[in-house]
Amino acid sequence: MSIRIGIMGYGNLGRGIEAAIKQNNDLELAAVFTRREPSLVEIRTPGVVVEDAANVSEYKDKIDVLIICGGSATDLPNQTPQYAREFNVIDSFDTHANIPSHFANVDREAKENGHVALISCGWDPGLFSLARVYADSVLPDGKAYTFWGRGVSQGHSDAIRRIPGVRDARQYTVPVEEALEAARSGENPDLTTRQMHTRECYVVLEEGADPGVVEEAIKTMPNYFADYDTTVHFVSQEELSRDHAGLPHGGFVLRSGRTGVKRDHNELIEFSLTLDSNPEFTASVLAAYARAVYRLAGKGESGCLTVLDIAPSLLSPRTPEDLRAHML
Amino acid sequence: MSIRIGIMGYGNLGRGIEAAIKQNNDLELAAVFTRREPSLVEIRTPGVVVEDAANVSEYKDKIDVLIICGGSATDLPNQTPQYAREFNVIDSFDTHANIPSHFANVDREAKENGHVALISCGWDPGLFSLARVYADSVLPDGKAYTFWGRGVSQGHSDAIRRIPGVRDARQYTVPVEEALEAARSGENPDLTTRQMHTRECYVVLEEGADPGVVEEAIKTMPNYFADYDTTVHFVSQEELSRDHAGLPHGGFVLRSGRTGVKRDHNELIEFSLTLDSNPEFTASVLAAYARAVYRLAGKGESGCLTVLDIAPSLLSPRTPEDLRAHML
């Protein structure tokens, strides 16, 4: 019997999950839920219903795991606790500072109603968190670094688009090669925000807008750009649409540490991702963890979990015997 | 209260564990066991007893986790099942083909006697296994590669030393840069043994030995060298001792896979290690997993496990709240 997955929200992430389900024989798409008019949402899996999000409760017995594809700012803080009352759920909540309160809210609802909820799943938080915790545990006498990119930051692209005179924009976060090499060197340098990443902006102006004013507005924007070396390229809408339509991303988690009684040996652990599609890869991680959530719910577990609480074997469709014989 | 660790066998790995314990405040060295004459074994932790391995049973109530530092060929197949009767145990059994039978033997003894046993812990098998399973689960439509090196292979060095006319030798396994790039390319090429690694040998001859005969014997040795491009350098004992005394190692686990309904996006997951000291790093992994074994035994679990069965958070000295707030 397949694991029946519901997708709440059919944007880039929801579509990625639909595609990931097709790659996993033991997963099956049960329904897609949307806040739009369902008849206007065309999905790629024949025979599967698109349903108004308001009717999700009717699918209580038809879905094993509901994957919630909302945004971290306003959707997930409400949706994940709410849906954890009726479903086993997964989200990709990525506002790091608010994870403890989100965890508490989801944990309460999931426990009270006997469901398993997994929050903050994806690659960061997600696979990068795993890399940080494994490396921190193995090399306590060391220092860790996380670099992001080269990749498109949706938040930074949106911030540029809100500047008067900007018609469209795409922002790339770029790790600085010299900083990466310094992190790998074993010297464990202290690296500032400015030293680790640069920001590259591709901007389409409204007619008549002053490029100098826009460039200054970008480069001095607090939190988003002021602490970084930022370059701004003005391009045509055609060029932006042609060369910058994708959503690539990735990054590096490194930890180097000392071992031995004399601390004279250096050990470097490095985990990296190079992604053509940030949302499709995130969706692929969520799909694998849906299998784990289903298995844990089947064992009678309940409450909120993160990727740190889940044994790797639970993600795999292979049997424990197969894993030991061929993957260990 | 600290977790009391016993070390069975005081070679490179045992010494590495002693050093790793000093880096972890919640771990404490309880005793070192040796098959040598205990009075001749000098350890680096003042006040800790060195005991004859034959008397280990007397420490049944003084040790929480016994880390067994024997060899995979003849020691561990006997030692790990035997000691699992009286202790929670960890080993680094690395003969991949025999893992299923070793697991069965250890599982039986551990279950019958209510202990937790963790086998095949380290970096390969170990952290590399984790990387393979996470990546395989997340990118099912893909292909994985494991590269080893640049590093010293003890088994291959020993094999050279058994050739008549060889006084000493050190063998490095070296990943081929072009093969690494091919694996990263997203083309998912089939790579042969010869394409992925080369072997570099540093050899000291006995007086009067014929270098041509020795070189031929190395390069044609089945299993060890015949399938590889092998280079042989003849050096003096002084040069070998001076330049090749370390035990560096490392390697790469890569998996690239396709995502999206049109399979038009490529995603690359890469995990790598660059180690100055293979045994000290292996020991650091074992020490972190000793914490997990202790915690699982405390929850009443029993039987044989591998790293694939253990949630990442169990390795960390940090609380779950701390991990969620700062590492996720």
Return per-residue pLDDT of chain A as tens, 328 residues: 799 999 999 999 999 999 999 999 999 999 999 999 999 999 999 999 999 999 999 999 999 999 999 999 999 999 999 999 999 999 999 999 999 999 999 999 999 999 999 999 999 999 999 999 999 999 999 999 999 999 999 999 999 999 999 999 999 999 999 999 999 999 999 999 899 999 999 999 999 999 999 999 999 999 999 999 999 999 999 999 999 999 999 999 999 999 999 999 999 999 999 999 999 999 999 999 999 999 999 999 999 999 999 999 999 999 999 999 999 9
- Interface predicted TM-score (ipTM) of this complex, two decimals: 0.97
Distance from CA of B318 to the nearest CA of A (A): 9
What secondary structure letter does DSSP report for B2?
A: P
Residue B273 DSSP SS3: strand
Q: Do B19 and A260 touch (CB under 8 A)?
A: yes
Taking only residues 17 to 46 of chain B, the set having a beta carbon closer than 8 angstroms to any beta carbon of chain A reads: 18-20, 22-24, 44
What are the C-alpha distances in Å from B304 to residues A58, A217, B308?
A: 43, 60, 11
B129 near A CB under 8 A: yes
B40 — pLDDT class (breaks 50, 70, 90): very high
Helix, strand, coil content of chain A in percent (nearest 5): 40, 25, 35
Nearest to B268 among A131, A274, A321 (CB): A274
Q: Touching check for A47 and chain B: CB below 8 Å?
A: no
Q: Does A133 touch chain B (CB under 8 A)?
A: yes
Check CB contact under 8 Å for B324 and A308: yes
CB-based contact, A103 to chain B, within 8 Å? yes
Q: How confident is the model at residue B226 (pLDDT cuts 50, 70, 90)?
A: very high
Residue A176 in contact with residue A196, Cβ under 8 Å?
A: yes
Distance CA B173, CA A171 (A): 42
Report pLDDT for B210. Answer: 97
- Name the nearest CA neighbour of A126 among A318, A317, A289, A246: A289
Least Cα distance to A228 among A241, A218, A213 occurs for A218
Minimal CA separation from A64 to chain B, in Å: 19
Average pLDDT, chain B: 97
3-state DSSP helix/strand/coil percent for chain B, to nearest 5?
40, 30, 35
- Average pLDDT of span B30-51: 97
pLDDT at residue A205, rounded to an integer: 98
Residue in A with minimal Cα distance to B17: A260
Terminal Cα-to-Cα distance of chain B (whole angstroms) = 27
Which residue in chain A is spatially nearest to B121 when comparing CA positions? A328
- Please give, rounded to a whole number of angstroms, the shortest distance from the CA of B95 to a CA of chain A: 10
Q: Tell me whether A172 touches chain B (CB under 8 Å).
A: no
How many CA atoms lie within 13 Å of A243's alpha carbon, on the beta-carbon side? 14
Nearest to A137 among B265, B309, B316 (CB): B316
Q: What pLDDT is recorded for position A1?
A: 75
Chain B CB within 8 Å of residue A317 CB: yes
- CB neighbour class for A312 (10 Å; exposed up to 12, middle 13-18, buried from 19): buried
- Note the pLDDT of residue A34: 98
pLDDT in tens, B260-291: 999 999 999 999 999 999 999 999 999 999 99
**Distances, alpha carbon A235 to alpha carbons A160, A164, A169, A202, in Å:** 14, 16, 9, 6
Nearest to B88, CA basis, from B208, B6, B185, B200: B6
Cα(B77)–Cα(A202) distance, integer angstroms: 61
Angle A197-A282-B139 from CA coordinates, rounded to 5°: 110
Which of A275-289, B22-36, B180-194 has the least mean pLDDT?
B180-194
Minimal C-alpha gap between B19 and chain A (Å)? 5
Residue A281 and residue A300: Cα distance in Å, rounded? 29
Burial string for B6-34 (b: 16+ CB within 10 Å, else e) reads bbbbbebbbbbbbbbbbbbeebbbbbbbb
pLDDT on residue B1:
75
pLDDT of residue A193: 86
Chain A residues in contact with B16 (beta carbon < 8 A): 259-260
Distance to chain B for A241, nearest Cα, Å: 18
pLDDT score for B193: 86
The answer to whether the Cβ–Cβ distance between B277 and A261 falls below 8 Å is no
Q: Do A308 and B311 touch (CB under 8 A)?
A: yes
A274 interfacial to chain B (CB closer than 8 Å): yes
Mean pLDDT score, B186-213:
95
